[in-house]
Chains A and B, each alone.
Chain A
Amino acid sequence: MSTIVIEHLARVEGHGGITVELEGDTVTNVHFDVFEGARLLEPLVRGKRYDEVAPILSRICSICSAAHTLTSLKATENAFGIRVSPQTELLRELLFRGESIESHSLHLFLLALPDYLNYPSAIAVAADKPAAVLLGLRLKKLGNSIQEVIGGRAVHPVNTVLGGFGKVPAIDELIGLRSNLMQALGDCDTVIDIIASLPAADFCHSDTLYAALRSPNLDSYYTGDEVMVMSNGNRAIVNAADYRSLTNEKSVPHSNAKHSTFRGSPFMVGSLARLTVNPRRLTGKLAVAMKRLKLQLPADNPMDNNKAQALELINDVERALEIIEQLIRNGIKDERPIPVHPRAGTGTAITEAPRGLLIHSYTYDEQGHVVSADVITPTALNAASIELHFRRAVEQCAERDEAVIGKRLQMIARAYDPCISCSVHLVRRR
């Protein structure tokens, strides 16, 4: 028996590794090892008052802090029966778009690009091709600026509260963002130029089950309470309240992240899943870009998640512009947050964080203190799918060269854009 071990998975958020065991040419075992210590954040909010929960859970991740905050608020609002205004929903969607622009540009240009260009790091890429790295940083800055205007800070928003916003943005601020976003449309064309010019990453094919928030009438990361699971034309709908039938979390001995399967099969969440489940978004500029990237849906190659992120960058910029136009056209109202009246009950929220489905579910007592909390992140949902794709990549690799296999597996892991530190919750290693 031989074993391939990648002890430290570079250029992902958190600490993880990969182990592959082979008997001759047969793959006997594949592990996506998550070493990151259990964060135990859910017990940290147990007993806390309703208005303390979102600021605490926002700290789970600095890259997805807006998604954690807004998903947390949505779950608590669901528990208390609060329905926010259409303007609040638009502003929250805009905040999601800002975070997605930041996260995708960081991932594509600082983490994934070095793989395709055979550089060890973004710093090495920057020495030879500074324009590509600068493009990524420029878009990241744009994403941060949206978060700063809407959320009050570039990370860990403070302006987002139960029932609405502490302060709504001024028209001048929205006009400033609109101007920056219009300039970014040109950058989006360059993103597609760069991603289309990269060498093909064609070393892992597998039928894949995709899961994403269902947006039948609108393009949204925030609104909606149903998840669609799709594979080869088969579809299933899971309601937010029934999320455990989607996640079916179970502990595995090699990882601090629990694994999720739907009806016994691993599934993939994230950009590729979103485009597969909601193909109506793919019109106009996006349709043209999709052709240039040679992306066909449903895809059977997890590396296509990078192409999907590039398409979503365009979509995020366009959607952010649409929202701002709508807010300016309607005239932004100086709304106060809806008053909160706590009550006993459970609230669950599902949203689309940059890396995929994010679930927060809380049970409150009558005074509005947390009795129990459950947070399931995209990387935890993807963990079983990542292992499946590792296995397929090794099986489909004609060479048994450790360096070749190792590089391919690392590229697959990074294509999932995992946030390992986020994926760890409530599990202790056996």
Chain B
Amino acid sequence: MKPLLIIGLGNPLMGDDSAGLRVSDLLASDSAVTNAADVIAGGTDLLSSMDRIEGRTRVILVDAVESLSDPGRISVIEGPLLEERAEYVHSLSAAQAVELMRQVMPGLQGTRFTWVLVHVASARVLQQMSPEVAAVVPLAAAVVKGLL
């Protein structure tokens, strides 16, 4: 197990909600990344990846965030993610899951959490992403790579 874990979040059937997964797919095929970090697709239930998170020194979470005005923007947030539920594209809150895990798993107290958020306008049933979000997936992957 490597000390660094990258988790892509989202639903591949929900259009732009899958941005985090598409980024982690790209990173998983890049040996420069996989030499330094484990990369997994976390789907929409972060608590199911609890076992994989435990014992890491750093976890990078890549997720979609709803942003009507600025789709395609990428932002990086270190530490706790303050959210309002409505801002999230899929209804299970990954931020709350991280907060809960940190509270009850003493081993995570020293773990550094970094969020890489891909801003999307909406999530609806589609197997493809919108052109503006698809275009920034390689950019988001490069942002994650820059964090390693």
User: Which residue numbers of A lie inside 8 Å of B, CB to CB?
Assistant: 8, 13-15, 36-37, 39-41, 44, 56, 59, 62-63, 65, 102, 106, 110, 121-123, 126-127, 130, 133-134, 137, 140-141, 144-145, 154-156, 420-421
User: Which residue numbers of B lie inside 8 Å of A, CB to CB?
Assistant: 11-13, 43-45, 47-51, 85, 91-92, 96, 99-101, 103-104, 124-125, 127
Tell which of B45, B92, B101 has the most Cβ of chain A within 10 Å: B45
Contact flag A59-B48 (CB < 8 Å), given A110-B100, A421-B91? no
Q: How far is the CA of A121 from the CA of B100 in the complex (A)?
A: 10
Q: How far is the CA of A420 from the CA of B91 in the complex (A)?
A: 10
Q: How far is the CA of A354 from the CA of B91 in the complex (A)?
A: 19
* A141-B100 in contact (CB<8A): no
* A62-B44 in contact (CB<8A): yes
Contact flag A133-B13 (CB < 8 Å), given A8-B85, A40-B125, A141-B51? no
Residues of B within 8 A of A154 (CB): 48-49
* B125-A127 in contact (CB<8A): no
* B103-A126 in contact (CB<8A): yes
Interface pairs (18), CB distance under 8 Å: A8-B85, A41-B125, A56-B13, A62-B44, A65-B43, A102-B48, A123-B103, A133-B100, A137-B47, A137-B50, A140-B50, A141-B51, A144-B48, A144-B50, A145-B51, A154-B48, A154-B49, A155-B43
Residues of A within 8 A of B12 (CB): 59
Residue of B nearest to A130 (CB): B104
Closest 5 CB pairs of A and B: A62-B45, A62-B44, A154-B48, A59-B13, A126-B103
Residue of A nearest to B11 (CB): A59
* B100-A63 in contact (CB<8A): no
* A14-B85 in contact (CB<8A): no
* A155-B45 in contact (CB<8A): yes
Q: How far is the CA of A130 from the CA of B104 in the complex (A)?
A: 6
* A126-B44 in contact (CB<8A): no
Contact of A62 among B48, B85, B104, B125 (CB under 8 A): B48
* CB of A113 to closest CB in B, whole Å: 13
**Contacts A106-B47, A155-B43 known; 10 new A-B pairs at CB < 8 A:** A13-B92, A59-B11, A59-B12, A63-B45, A126-B104, A127-B103, A137-B47, A140-B50, A145-B51, A156-B43
Q: How far is the CA of A122 from the CA of B100 in the complex (A)?
A: 8
* B96-A123 in contact (CB<8A): yes
* B48-A155 in contact (CB<8A): yes
Residues of B within 8 A of A62 (CB): 11, 43-45, 48, 92
Q: How far is the CA of A75 from the CA of B96 in the complex (A)?
A: 36
Residues of B within 8 A of A102 (CB): 48
Q: How far is the CA of A390 from the CA of B28 in the complex (A)?
A: 48
Residues of B within 8 A of A156 (CB): 43
Tell which of B47, B48, B85, B103 has the most Cβ of chain A within 10 Å: B48
Q: How far is the CA of A299 from the CA of B124 in the complex (A)?
A: 39
Residues of A within 8 A of B49 (CB): 154
Residues of A within 8 A of B11 (CB): 59, 62
Residues of A within 8 A of B45 (CB): 62-63, 155
Residues of A within 8 A of B103 (CB): 123, 126-127, 130, 133
Contact flag A37-B124 (CB < 8 Å), given A106-B47, A155-B45? yes
